[in-house]
Amino acid sequence: MPKQKSDFRELKKGKKEEKHKVIILNGFSDSQLNSFIDFYKKSNLPKAIFATVTKISKEFKVKDLLKELKKERRMMKKNVRSKNS
């Protein structure tokens, strides 16, 4: 897949972290969100971070929102690892 400037990645300690597309959804019901995410995951598309627009997130600048999503993803991965230990 060709590199795109919109790839969400960050350099940390000289190493590239995983890069993911960010998909921000708005105006979908829970059922529609779940259906979309299930479809996306089954479609062999690149890994993505999914987010929905909230009262708080809609006030963020895009770059700040992306930083926050990345931070949340790291925390979730850390929690999953600690539960599996």
Q: Which of 85, 26, 35, 13 is nearest to 55 (CA)?
A: 26
pLDDT, tens only, 36-70: 999 999 998 998 999 999 999 999 999 999 999 98
- CA distance readout (Å), 48 to 69, 70, 82: 11, 11, 22
Q: How many CB atoms lie within 10 A of CB 48?
A: 14
The pLDDT value given to residue 78: 85
Show Cβ contacts of residue 6 under 8 Å, excluding neighbours closer than 6 positions. 21
pLDDT-derived band at 16 (thresholds 50, 70, 90) equals low
pTM value is: 0.66
In the chain the first and final C-alpha atoms are separated, in Å, by 34
* Domain residue ranges in the chain: 11-84
